[in-house]
Amino acid sequence: MDATLTVTIPAHDAARTVATAIRSTARSLPSDGRILVLDDASTDDTAAAVSSMAATDPRIRLISNPGSPLGVAGAANALLDEVDTTWVARIDADDISLPGRIGRSMRTLADGDAELVAMSGWFYGPSRWAVEPVPMLSADPESVRWELLLNCPFIHSGTAATTAAMRSVGGYRAVPSEDWDLYMRLALDGGRLRRLARPGVLYRRSPGQMSAQQGWKTAIGRDGTTADTHRRLCAEVVGREFSAYPALCGPGATPEQVADARELIRLAGDAAVGFPHAQRFSLKVTVGGLGKRLDGWYGSDG
């Protein structure tokens, strides 16, 4: 296994956007880096678009699943199985890597103070020019553990990790929020997760994407598998289990779960004062924003 990086791109019916995702990633990829694209049972010209680019850039490789779509977790694991580099990164087929993203991620991983690093990002879409900057806030491995108890603190397309760490927890699981579930399991496994303040990805928003569907949002809160992981991380970070996960995901939780969520948010706010300024500010922003969302879903607690 060599000391470079493979960027993985799952692609299902992504002919319109996959070339941009590849091109934006390739421009800052080192000469010994790799881009691995999985055509996951596409019915459009995704494979042809990738093959055309691979013909002129030996760093790009296409693999295909001709059967039924594997889904988000299945496609991610199929790609992970093919990785033979020390580090592995992710970008979705409709997102864009910003200049310098790959280099900064690799330097952070090479420093040895994180098993997973995430770049901040900007949201754009659904209209062509609708770009939404987000606060550029860093988080270190200790503050990330608290942020993981409140929400998913990373943009999946902006992540890079050691391949060994990803495999040590068995990769992804087929749950609605497969990325949040993965990050919590990495933290439970002793992994150090870090977020860099500088943006590294443009995350495309569209009305038809999975995360915009109400059914998907409802499924997250009902996911007992990830809820169990959340309880175990609560026990490790806070010292006791909380049943807060369904309430943190949206409406529909029980009064006990809502009360646990409010208590967990309060404890995270208290813990924030012990962190350096940048991490304290990030955690406070998370606490404040989530508290307002909880009030919107369940009403103010006083």
CA end-to-end distance (rounded Å), the chain: 56
User: pLDDT band for position 29 (50/70/90)?
Assistant: very high
Domain end: 65, 94, 123, which one?
94
* Residue 222: inside a domain: yes
> pLDDT digits over 110-142, tens only?
999 999 999 999 888 776 556 555 667 899 999
Report d(CA 197, CA 194) in Å as an integer: 10
3-class secondary structure, 135 = coil
Distance CA 264, CA 234 (A): 9
Q: What is the pLDDT of residue 212?
A: 47
Task: Establish if 73 belongs to a structural domain.
Answer: yes
Lowest mean pLDDT among 52-66, 182-196, 210-224: 210-224
Q: Using CA atoms, how far apart are residues 152 and 173, in angstroms rounded to an integer?
A: 15
Query: What CATH number is given to the structural domain containing 37?
Result: 3.90.550.10
Distance, in Å, from the CA atom of 107 to the CA atom of 184, rounded to the nearest integer, reads 23
Tens of pLDDT along 245-295?
999 999 999 999 999 999 999 999 999 999 999 999 999 999 999 999 999
Q: Is residue 116, in this structure, part of any structural domain at all?
A: no
Structural tokens at position 264: 């967990």
pLDDT (mean) for 22-49? 96
Domain boundary, last residue among 76, 94, 112:
94
What's the domain range around 219? 211-298
11 is a domain residue? yes
In a domain, 84, yes or no: yes
Residue 129: inside a domain, yes or no? no
Quote the pLDDT of residue 216: 59
Is the residue at 186 inside a domain? Answer: no
Domain boundary among the residues 66, 94, 122 is at 94
**Domain total in the chain:** 2
Q: Quick: pLDDT tens for 197-243.
A: 999 999 988 765 555 456 757 788 889 999 999 999 999 999 999 99
